[in-house]
Amino acid sequence: MLIALLLGACSHEGDLAQTAAARPQRIVALTVGAADTLALLGELERVVAVEEDCFVPGTEKLVRIRNDDHAGPSKALNVEAVFALHPDLVIAKEDLQAALGGRGMDVLWVPQASDLAAICGIVEEIGARLGVKEKSDALLAELRERAARIRARVAGQASVRVYYEAGRPGRTAGKHTVIDEMIRLAGGVNIAGDQELANPTLSSEAIVAADPEVIVLSPWSDTPEQLAQRPGWSGMRAVREGRVYQIPERDRQVQYPSPSCVEGCERLLVPWLHPSAMGGK
């Protein structure tokens, strides 16, 4: 009986060791959101490569994989560089399935939608794949607590019309995007929030007609001063009242699908949209 128990214990320990060994140790994270999530979970030591323009602290010395998504799905991904690293897990957007799918690699596909529900789903999946469910549960609890705090802070405030500019004039964010979700969480209404495209382009006339009360610029857009010089824009309420704000490059996580976006919403968007809600912070 004792021998049987000992053999059973050894077998159980062997199963645990095998399970731990099967957990990914060489991860290629091809989205900034995934890299940031792994950093927040304290699991960057498993990451061997990130996408070329990843700015997440702690990834500076990792291999960079060229992935120019502006060139179209899968057209500019350096697939050979990914294979050369022998990853046991790749985290990539769904639009890269043509390049990475069906090649024998374990891929966690990140959905195109990047609202809070999608972000939470990816955090849960990463936690399960890496065997760090307690960490991912704690991270999600913190995210949900912060989001609830924001909702309570802006409750009762009138909605604010917001135009978000993503780089060039008119390029903005539609529904199911991170910034659309964060604008709504902060008590705003995205003037492009009914657009199905993730990055629609609005005409100057449409933006002026919408008369946004607040304008939020990405770090790579024109400055507020340059924006005010555009023909017809000086009459918009946001410009008249000096409520044109630019996201600092160091705080650009508010635009990306990871739990950090909610922290950015609380720190940046809530004061910009509802300064009166910040009393007694």
DSSP for 159-184?
PEEEEEE-SSTTB---TTSHHHHHHH
State how far the Cα of 89 lies from the Cα of 106, in Å rounded to an integer.
5
Q: Rounded to whole angstroms, how far apart are CA atoms 226 and 50?
A: 34
247 shares a domain with 202? yes
Give me the pLDDT at residue 98, please: 87
The reported pLDDT for the residue numbered 151 is 96
Verify that 123 and 53 share a domain, yes or no.
yes
Claim to verify: residue 274 and residue 230 sit in the same structural domain: yes
Q: Measure the CA–CA gap between 254 and 188, rounded to whole angstroms.
A: 15
What pLDDT tens digit does each residue of the chain (281 aa) get? 434 433 444 444 444 343 554 789 999 999 999 999 999 999 999 999 999 989 999 999 999 998 665 444 444 688 889 999 999 999 999 989 888 888 888 999 998 888 899 999 999 999 999 999 999 999 999 999 999 999 999 999 999 999 999 989 999 999 989 999 999 999 999 999 999 999 999 999 999 999 999 999 999 999 999 999 999 999 999 999 999 999 999 899 999 999 999 999 999 999 999 998 876 44
113 and 199 share a domain?
A: no
Report if residue 9 sits inside a domain.
no
Clarify whether residues 165 and 273 are in a common domain.
yes
Q: Within a domain: residue 106?
A: yes
- The residue behind tokens 């214990």 is 9
Same domain, 39 and 122: yes
Domains of the chain: total: 2
- Answer yes or no: do 109 and 180 share one domain: no
3-state secondary structure of 255: helix
Predicted pLDDT at 199: 92
> Which structural domain range is residue 234 located in?
157-278
Q: Tokens in use for 111?
A: 């959905």
For tokens 């720190």, what's the residue?
267
In-domain check, residue 219: yes
Largest CA distance in the chain: 88
27 has which bridge partners?
A: 47, 89
Nearest Cα residue to 253 out of 272, 267, 273: 267
